[in-house]
């Protein structure tokens, strides 16, 4: 794996010049990502006709600009990520990646737990016509993983979630639930009966 990676980096500048075949204009990508294609040709000298090559895709993103605003940042009491997938090993490695990223960024992880898997089963007839006694059973397994982060600011949450979601593996879905903390509005800070003493008796 190291050799093709080194080759890829060296040929990266070359790929920009040779990219005539593979560059297409109407790519409907998201706002801030682009990709390059890197074609490597290695030919075996004795056999000139057969050459081995492989193509790989690189996802590159342009860095988003930093905006500074006056309004205060939203504070989240809890951000919970629920990751669903068909393969438990994929979810294990994704959980390791997400927890490592959170530790590096200094985000508090409340708990990481695994919800019990869901199996959707159905029993169908095996044959096209008759043979009701012969059936075939299929099932679809959904494994879950829940990562809860606590006491996180809006900016940190945005950056972390963007990083996590860009690296979401294929076949894995994620649901994010954020619990925000808001300042208590001024009109309910003080109880009403202190400002306006009871006038009911006198009005009655």
Does the footprint of another protein cover residue 45 (CB under 8 A)?
Answer: no
Does the footprint of another protein cover residue 5 (CB under 8 A)?
Answer: no
The dihedral formed by the CA atoms of 33, 36, 37 and 39, expressed in degrees to the nearest 10 = -150
Please report how close the Cβ of residue 179 comes to another protein at its closest, in angstroms: 20
Does the footprint of another protein cover residue 172 (CB under 8 A)?
Answer: yes
CA angle 39, 41, 44 (to 5 degrees): 165
- For another protein, the binding residue among 111, 118, 151, 177 (CB under 8 A) is 118
Does the footprint of another protein cover residue 21 (CB under 8 A)?
Answer: yes
Please report how close the Cβ of residue 55 comes to another protein at its closest, in angstroms: 5
Does the footprint of another protein cover residue 62 (CB under 8 A)?
Answer: no
Does the footprint of another protein cover residue 116 (CB under 8 A)?
Answer: no
Does the footprint of another protein cover residue 140 (CB under 8 A)?
Answer: yes
118: enclosing H helix or E strand: strand 118-125
What's the rounded Cα separation, in Å, for the pair 114 and 91?
A: 10
The two three-digit tokens of residue 122, written as one number: 């159905």
The DSSP bridge partners found for residue 158 are none
Helix (H, G, I), strand (E, B) or coil at 31: coil
- For another protein, the binding residue among 5, 14, 29, 100 (CB under 8 A) is 29
Does the footprint of another protein cover residue 30 (CB under 8 A)?
Answer: yes
| Of residues 104, 93, 96, 106, the one with CA closest to residue 150 | 106
Does the footprint of another protein cover residue 93 (CB under 8 A)?
Answer: no
C-beta of residue 141 within 8 angstroms of C-beta of residue 86: yes
C-beta of residue 38 within 8 angstroms of C-beta of residue 56: yes
Q: In this chain, which stretch among 6-14, 68-76, 79-87, 182-190 interacts with another protein, using CB under 8 A?
A: 79-87
Residue whose token pair is 């649901």? 175
- Per CB under 8 A, residues contacting another protein are 21-22, 24, 26-30, 35, 39, 41, 49-57, 84-87, 118, 120, 126-127, 129, 131, 133-134, 136, 140-142, 168-173
């Amino acid at each position: 794996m190291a050799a093709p990676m080194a080759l890829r980096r060296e040929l990266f500048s070359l790929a920009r010049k040779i990219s005539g075949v593979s560059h297409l204009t109407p790519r409907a990508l998201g706002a801030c990502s682009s990709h390059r294609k890197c074609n490597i040709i290695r030919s075996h000298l004795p056999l000139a006709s057969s050459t081995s090559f492989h193509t790989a895709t690189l996802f590159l993103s342009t860095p988003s600009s930093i905006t500074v605003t006056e309004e205060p940042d939203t504070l989240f009491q809890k951000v919970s990520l629920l990751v669903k997938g068909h393969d438990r090993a994929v979810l294990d490695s994704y959980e390791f990646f997400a927890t490592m990223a959170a530790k590096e960024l200094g985000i508090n992880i409340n708990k990481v737990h695994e919800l019990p898997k869901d199996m959707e089963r159905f029993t169908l007839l095996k044959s096209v016509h008759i043979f009701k006694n012969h059936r075939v059973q299929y099932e679809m397994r959904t494994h879950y993983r829940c990562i809860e982060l606590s006491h996180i600011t809006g900016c940190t949450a945005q950056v972390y979630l963007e990083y996590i979601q860009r690296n979401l593996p294929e076949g894995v879905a994620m649901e994010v639930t954020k619990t925000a903390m808001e300042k208590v509005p001024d009109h309910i800070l003080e109880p009403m009966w202190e400002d306006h003493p009871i006038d009911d008796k006198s009005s009655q």
